[in-house]
Amino acid sequence: MPTRVQGQPVEHYPALSPEARRGSVRRVTEVGEEVLHRPCRPVTEFGTPELAALIDDMFLTMYVADGAGLAANQVGVDLRLFVYDCPDEQGVRHVGHLVNPVLDPPDPATRSLLEDGEGCLSVPGARMTLPRAEHTVARGQDMDGKPLVIEATGYFARCLQHETDHLHGGTYLDRLSQRDRKAALRQMTDRREEVYARRTRNTERLTGEGE
Ligand code: NI
């Protein structure tokens, strides 16, 4: 099954993306930190070394945390972009970054919701079930400003919706009932240390360094 990189099929792709090999691990922000709870600013400068380095760091940080997606405010940067490495409904792996993403409004003809488990690197250790559109289209740009249209199904569609929520200053906790939100925060309290220990081990494995 070909992998899709920036929406384009490629025959072979390494498990660890080239961005991650260049990147450094950044600290992942946690729910409650201000940068996660306000809208991010649009990216207006493209093709800069700073933007490329941010994307490299976000990839490595996502892999260290065993994530399928990561938004910039999850590394403390309030810019509208995210990275992803996530399978779709058919098991196709999608890898890339998307700047200034906007989701198409749901098509009433094909709108259907899928209940599935979802977690967030900024709510370490929690996992809850919630409905998401099973198909979505995200429009935005790449780091050089080139327009991109990314179509997604299944878990990848969930990922694009989750990451776009982050850029609006939301987390998936905001989509849960009060009772489920409390349950998620309890899971985080119980499992947080274990999750951070795993991230430290992953950092050593992926970079040969401790934190
Ligand atoms: Ni998240």
How many A from CA of 117 to the centre of ligand 1?
13
Supply the pTM of this predicted model.
Answer: 0.96
pLDDT at 174 (0 to 100): 98
Cα(37) to ligand 1 centroid in Å equals 12
Would you write out the chain's pLDDT as a tens digit for each of its 211 residues?
Answer: 789 999 999 999 999 999 999 999 999 999 999 999 999 999 999 999 999 999 999 999 999 999 999 999 999 999 999 999 999 999 999 999 999 999 998 877 777 899 999 999 999 999 999 999 999 999 999 999 999 999 999 999 999 999 999 999 999 999 999 999 999 999 999 999 999 999 999 999 999 865 4
Token pair for 192: 């947080």
What domains, with CATH codes, occur in the chain?
A: 3-201 (3.90.45.10)
What pLDDT score does 209 carry?
66
What is the structure's pLDDT at 108? 75
pLDDT of 148 reads 98
Q: In the structure encoding, which two tokens stand for residue 139, read together?
A: 């429009």
Distance CA 18, CA 55 (A): 11
Catalytic residue among 163, 193, 194, 204: 163
3-state secondary structure of 91: coil
Q: Ligand 1 centre from 123 Cα, in Å?
A: 7
| 176, two tokens | 């849960």
**Euclidean distance between CA atoms 53 and 133, whole angstroms:** 32
User: Residue 211 catalytic?
Assistant: no
Nearest CA to 185 out of 129, 124, 134, 132 is that of 124
**Number of neighbours of residue 59 by Cβ within 10 angstroms:** 25
CA of 122 to the centre of ligand 1 (A): 6
Rounded to whole angstroms, the Cα distance separating 126 from 183 reads: 8
Ligand 1 centroid, distance to 193 Cα (angstroms): 18
CA atoms within 13 A on the CB side of 161: 23
What pLDDT, in 10s, does the model give residues 145-161?
A: 999 999 999 999 999 99
